[in-house]
């Protein structure tokens, strides 16, 4: 059975300029590109790393929602920060969003595309498969 591929855009200028999608859905898997703290509707970004992390998660939740998934479906998360010392200050935000989900996670220290960016978060989710009664294998 061939799986379909659905591309999801947030409307971010970076997507068109660079040539990528905010998220790609293949079968029951959702791959969300790294999201930064930009509010894609206004183009604004906070100087505060925790506020940026919160906006990252809002951006991720929006992409997952468009894909027919939710934060509760996240199985893998990667946190990328230019300054690893900022990581602990965002733990309350991560606890709020992932405390009950507890996906596999990695934190990486690396430079980001713009100096104002203090965090980027990327996730992979697996949508719950809904099996119709007639589709069950015995």
For residue 8, what are the contacts with CB-CB under 8 A and spacing of at least 6? 21, 22, 23, 24, 25, 63, 66, 67
> How far is the C-alpha of 127 from the C-alpha of 138, rounded, in Å?
23
**What's the pTM value of the predicted model, to 2 decimals?**
0.87
Token duo for residue 117: 């960016």
Provide the CATH topology of domain 5-135: 60s Ribosomal Protein L30; Chain: A; (3.30.1330)
For 19: left if phi > 0, alpha if psi spans -120 to 50, otherwise beta; the answer is: left
**pLDDT tens for the chain, residues 1 to 138:** 456 899 998 877 778 888 899 999 999 999 999 999 999 889 999 999 999 999 999 999 999 999 999 999 999 999 999 999 999 999 999 999 999 999 999 999 999 999 999 999 999 999 986 444 444 443
Token duo for residue 92: 């309350």
The domain segmentation of the chain, as residue ranges, is 5-135
């Amino acid at each position: 059975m061939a799986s379909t591929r659905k591309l999801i855009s947030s409307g971010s200028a970076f997507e068109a300029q660079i040539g990528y999608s905010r998220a790609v859905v293949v079968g029951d898997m959702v791959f969300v590109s790294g999201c930064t703290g930009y509010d894609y509707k206004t183009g604004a970004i906070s100087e505060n790393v925790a506020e940026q992390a919160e906006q990252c998660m809002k951006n991720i939740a929006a992409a997952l929602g468009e894909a027919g998934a939710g934060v509760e479906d996240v199985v893998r998360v990667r946190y990328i920060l230019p300054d690893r010392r900022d990581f602990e200050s965002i733990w309350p935000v991560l606890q709020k969003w992932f405390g009950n989900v507890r996906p596999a996670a990695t934190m990486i220290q690396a430079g980001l595309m713009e100096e104002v960016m203090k965090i980027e978060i990327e996730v992979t989710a697996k949508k719950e498969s809904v099996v119709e009664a007639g589709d069950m294998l015995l």
